[in-house]
């Protein structure tokens, strides 16, 4: 899936859409005010809405008969993100086009990125940061982005590898029109934080039923695979799919003699579930590991790492067997107390959100100095100032609420 647009709304007749077959077929000099879309294995859904049309590109998940554009766009030029997120779950990008405006954003959680370069009235945006960098003035390598990755495992704010290219924030959208060029939106996850009314064990069956109901929307009608590992995600998804009597098989990856393969195989057999191992054996190491690693890095815009080449390798193998695989990410992090470092919670993040004082500032200064003395001095000072402003509105919040 891919999209690209070079937009200058001023004095034009709106935006047109052009479907391309492959990223390589994007013209060397793309037409301005044209949204180029390549669907790949994803879907493109077009809804007629007030003032224009709404496009959903990716894998939107919704109950039959509920995807009504009138409830999402209630008046021309305005989109209700809360209504969109409530109806269309899953992962996708969306584009709302009228005669004189284009709004572009993402689904809840912003798993699919939007990268953009703004220069006065002109905005160029794309699903791939490297394509954008090749076709615009991307600027110098961004030291701030590198610092945030070293401290937190991923960028804290919307920086990218280049100074002039930004990553669109979660639950925001690009608003491009003749009278407005801005990042817009006011949806806040924190508006939904509250104290539970019932914390007793008696409430667990209700929560389980609600979880099962939500999972049901994500199960394909065709045969699909579920990653069955030792983690929380796989076991939960297998249990939910089995409870719903779905047609699926389990898979896992690892060395032939490792518990990552032998244990899921035994569990699947005991449950009567078909099981497919993805073996990371010597043949894989010699023939596929390095190539899969490089391909994984390139497909993620070098936001992944070389510790995950087997993800792409497994997907390629399983694609010969099914069109759909279900897997979770970081489910066990939900049970990780905010004092135990993990993939999503680095020590620096824990200090920022758990500290009741400004001690986290000293930690960031010391941590950034360990790599190259004063190399990150200015970036560290700017980062501390931005984080200070960011968490200022969170006084009195629980540490987990601050983090999420």
pLDDT in tens, 15-33: 888 988 877 788 889 999 9
Q: Do both 173 and 237 map to the same domain? A: no
Distance CA 218, CA 212 (A): 10
User: Mean per-residue pLDDT for 40-47?
Assistant: 92
User: Mean per-residue pLDDT for 185-191?
Assistant: 91
Return all residues near 6 (Cβ < 8 A) that are at least 6 apart.
30, 31, 32, 33, 34, 122, 124, 135
From the CA atom positions of the chain, what is the Rg in Å? Answer: 23
* CATH code (residue 269): 3.40.50
Task: Pick the last residue of a domain from 163, 187, 211.
Answer: 187
Domain for residue 192, yes or no? no
Q: Do both 163 and 60 map to the same domain? A: yes
User: Mean per-residue pLDDT for 226-247?
Assistant: 91
CA 86, 88, 90, 96 dihedral sign is negative
Distance CA 325, CA 309 (A): 17
Q: Do both 170 and 27 map to the same domain? A: yes
Residue range(s) defining the domain that contains residue 265: 201-330
Q: What's the mean per-residue pLDDT of the chain?
A: 91
Strand ranges (E), 99-179: 101-106, 115-119, 122-126, 166-167, 173-177
pLDDT in tens, 166-181: 999 999 999 998 888 9
Specify the higher pLDDT residue, 187 or 333.
187
* 335: pLDDT strictly greater than 70: no
Q: Do both 66 and 177 map to the same domain? A: yes
> What pLDDT is attached to residue 13?
66
Give the CA-trace dihedral at 101, 18, 60, 249, to 10 degrees: -160
* 225: pLDDT strictly greater than 90: yes
* 333: pLDDT strictly greater than 70: no
pLDDT band at 247 (very low <50, low <70, confident <90, very high): very high
Domain for residue 196, yes or no? no
Task: Pick the last residue of a domain from 313, 330, 347.
Answer: 330
Nearest alpha carbon to residue 115 among 151, 162, 77, 149: 162
> What pLDDT is attached to residue 334?
65
* 352: pLDDT strictly greater than 60: yes
Q: Do both 298 and 182 map to the same domain? A: no
- Coil, strand or helix at 165: coil
* 88: pLDDT strictly greater than 80: yes
Range in 44-58, 106-120, 228-242, 275-289 with the lowest mean pLDDT: 228-242
Return all residues near 163 (Cβ < 8 A) that are at least 6 apart.
138, 139, 140, 141, 142
Distance CA 243, CA 221 (A): 15
pLDDT band at 111 (very low <50, low <70, confident <90, very high): very high
* 11: pLDDT strictly greater than 60: no
Q: Do both 255 and 276 map to the same domain? A: yes
Domain for residue 228, yes or no? yes
Q: Do both 36 and 170 map to the same domain? A: yes
Q: Do both 66 and 126 map to the same domain? A: yes
> What pLDDT is attached to residue 305?
82
3-class secondary structure for 240-294? HHHHCCCCEEEEEEECCCCHHHHHHHHHHHHHCCCEEEEECCHHHHHHCHHHHHH
Return all residues near 333 (Cβ < 8 A) that are at least 6 apart.
342, 343, 344, 345
Q: Do both 347 and 308 map to the same domain? A: no
* CATH code (residue 45): 3.60.20
Nearest alpha carbon to residue 15 among 5, 25, 2: 5
> What pLDDT is attached to residue 338?
62
> What pLDDT is attached to residue 304?
84
Specify the higher pLDDT residue, 356 or 7.
7
pLDDT in tens, 60-80: 999 999 999 999 999 998 999
> What pLDDT is attached to residue 82?
96
User: Mean per-residue pLDDT for 190-215?
Assistant: 88
Task: Pick the last residue of a domain from 278, 299, 330.
Answer: 330
Q: Do both 160 and 220 map to the same domain? A: no
* Number of structural domains the chain divides into: 3
pLDDT band at 4 (very low <50, low <70, confident <90, very high): very high
User: Mean per-residue pLDDT for 74-89?
Assistant: 94
> What pLDDT is attached to residue 211?
92
Domain for residue 376, yes or no? yes
**Residue 57 CB-density burial (10 A; 0-12 exposed, 13-18 middle, 19+ buried):** buried
Domain for residue 31, yes or no? yes
Domain for residue 111, yes or no? yes
**Highest-confidence range of 242-256, 321-335, 350-364, by mean pLDDT?**
242-256
Return all residues near 398 (Cβ < 8 A) that are at least 6 apart.
none
| Share of residues in the chain with pLDDT > 90 (%) | 69
Domain for residue 141, yes or no? yes
Q: Do both 26 and 84 map to the same domain? A: yes
> Strands 115-119 and 122-126, how do they pair?
antiparallel
> What pLDDT is attached to residue 372?
79
Q: Do both 306 and 163 map to the same domain? A: no
Distance CA 25, CA 183 (A): 29
Domain for residue 195, yes or no? no
Nearest alpha carbon to residue 336 among 241, 404, 389: 404
């Amino acid at each position: 899936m891919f999209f690209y647009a070079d937009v200058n709304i001023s004095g034009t007749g709106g935006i047109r859409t052009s479907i391309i077959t492959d990223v390589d077929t994007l013209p060397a000099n793309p037409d301005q005010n044209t949204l180029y879309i390549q669907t790949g294995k994803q879907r493109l859904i077009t809804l007629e809405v007030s003032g224009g049309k709404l496009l959903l590109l990716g894998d939107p998940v919704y109950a039959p008969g509920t995807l009504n554009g009138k409830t999402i766009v209630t008046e021309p030029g305005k989109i209700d993100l809360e209504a969109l997120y409530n109806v269309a779950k899953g992962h996708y990008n969306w584009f709302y086009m009228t005669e004189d405006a284009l709004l572009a954003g993402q689904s809840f959680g912003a798993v699919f990125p939007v990268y953009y370069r703004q220069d006065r009235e002109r905005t160029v945006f794309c699903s791939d940061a490297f394509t954008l960098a090749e076709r615009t003035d991307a600027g110098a390598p961004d030291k701030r982005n590198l610092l945030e990755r070293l401290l937190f495992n991923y960028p804290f704010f919307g920086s990218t590898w280049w100074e002039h290219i930004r990553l669109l924030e979660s639950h925001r959208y690009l608003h491009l029109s003749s009278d407005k060029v801005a990042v817009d939106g006011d949806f806040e996850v924190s508006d939904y934080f509250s104290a539970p009314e019932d914390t007793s064990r008696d409430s667990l069956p209700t929560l389980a039923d609600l979880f099962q109901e939500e999972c049901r929307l994500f199960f394909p009608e065709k045969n699909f695979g579920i990653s069955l590992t030792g983690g929380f995600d796989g076991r939960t998804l297998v249990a939910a799919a089995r409870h719903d009597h779905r047609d699926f098989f389990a898979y896992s990856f690892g060395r032939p003699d490792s518990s990552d393969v032998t244990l899921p195989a035994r569990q699947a057999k005991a449950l009567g579930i078909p099981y497919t191992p993805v073996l990371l054996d010597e043949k894989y190491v010699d023939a596929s590991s390095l190539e899969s690693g490089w391909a994984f890095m390139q497909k993620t815009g070098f936001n992944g790492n070389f510790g995950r080449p087997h993800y792409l390798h497994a997907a390629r193998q399983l694609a010969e067997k099914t069109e759909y695989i279900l897997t979770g990410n970081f489910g066990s992090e939900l049970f990780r107390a905010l004092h135990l470092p993990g993939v999503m919670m680095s020590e620096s993040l824990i200090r920022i959100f758990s500290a009741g004082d400004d001690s986290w500032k000293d930690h960031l200064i010391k941590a950034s100095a360990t790599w190259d003395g004063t190399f990150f001095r200015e970036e560290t000072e700017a980062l501390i100032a931005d984080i200070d402003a960011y968490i200022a509105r969170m006084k009195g919040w629980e540490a987990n609420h601050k983090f999420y």
